[in-house]
Amino acid sequence: MPLILATQAPGEPEVFASLQGEGPSMGQPVAFVRLSRCNLACVWCDTAYTWHFTGDNRPHRGGESFDRAANQLALEPTEVAALIAGLGQRRLVITGGEPLMQAGQLADMLELLPDMQVEVETNGTVMPPARLDVRVDQYNVSPKLAHSGNPADLALKPQMLDHWAAEPRAFLKFVVASPADVEEVLALIEGHAIPRARVFLMPEGTDSATLRARMEWLVPLCLEQGLRLSDRMHIHLFGDTRGT
């Protein structure tokens, strides 16, 4: 089965080399592959072109719907692996969309990249099957809080939060837009025994001014609660653009 990828331009898969912009590997040179399709619908999603296609009535604050044919591309795992290998990087970030919706095809691809260090970025709602899990070095898990607009029973599954809390390869990165969101994070930490050393708070925003404004109140909260802060470095470097 093919992988369904997002596109940088019609017919051009979003496979590229850059610096990781978020989370525990921020600043590291990596290869990126962005997959299409998602099982959630965050109202502030900055990659809505991976799921908010024409005819999808789920709300998104940008209001734009995207043509599926122009924003999706099907490639065989062998083709995607060759593109990734050609970038010459040692570390791979698989992002989306929700990559674990295509776990079997990803396992096929990673079998062809045995020496690659692999990060998977996920919303944390899908359990990775064993065949893929053994090929993953790090999970960047971003559970979606109430302000994402997703129902809690879809976005914050207790058994999945317990799983990630117990998984030492998983770092939990919460997108926050107000201090009230941090209170929700603290309740999840308490309720699921999530180790604070593996928790990141990251301001929501797609421009430098918004990110810096939110860090003014977020930095003191991180200090107070003993939580780690993640910037969105790629936004400062490249803006809110594809393929960066």
What pLDDT, on a 0 to 100 scale, did the predictor assign at position 37? 97
Please state the pTM of the whole predicted model: 0.97
The residue ranges of every structural domain in the chain are 3-238
- Across the range 62-78, mean pLDDT stands at 96
Q: Quickly state the pLDDT bin for 105 (edges 50, 70, 90).
A: very high
Q: Is 109 helix (H, G, I), strand (E, B) or coil?
A: helix
C-alpha torsion 209→210→211→214, nearest 10: 120
Class in CATH terms, 3-238: alpha beta
Other Cβ atoms closer than 10 A to 116: 20
If phi > 0 it is left, if psi is from -120 to 50 it is alpha, else beta; for residue 176 that is beta
Query: With left for phi above 0 and alpha for psi between -120 and 50, is residue 6 left, alpha or beta?
Result: beta
Summarize the chain as % helix, strand, coil (round to 5).
40, 25, 40
Q: Are 80 and 15 in contact (CB under 8 A)?
A: yes
Residue-level pLDDT at 110: 98
Question: How many angstroms separate the first and last alpha carbons of the chain?
Answer: 27
What is residue 150's predicted lDDT score, i.e. its pLDDT? 98
Give CA–CA dist 95/132, Å, rounded: 14
Query: Please, what is the average pLDDT of the chain?
Result: 98
Q: Tokens standing for 51?
A: 């799921």
**CA–CA distance, 17 with 6 (Å, rounded to integer):** 15
Please state the rounded mean pLDDT for residues 211-219. 98
φ, ψ of residue 208 to 5 degrees: the values are: -60, -40
Neighbouring CB atoms inside 10 A of 182's CB total: 20
Closest CA to 46 of 2, 95, 106, 79: 95
Residue 124: per-residue pLDDT: 98
Reference 31, options 188, 243, 216; nearest CA is 243
Q: Is 214 left (phi over 0), alpha (psi -120 to 50) or beta?
A: alpha
Q: What is the DSSP string of 74-86?
A: EE-HHHHHHHHHT
**pLDDT for the residue 184:** 98
Residue 164 DSSP symbol: H
The owner of tokens 């317990």 is 162
Residue 97: its pLDDT value, please? 97
pLDDT of residue 27: 98
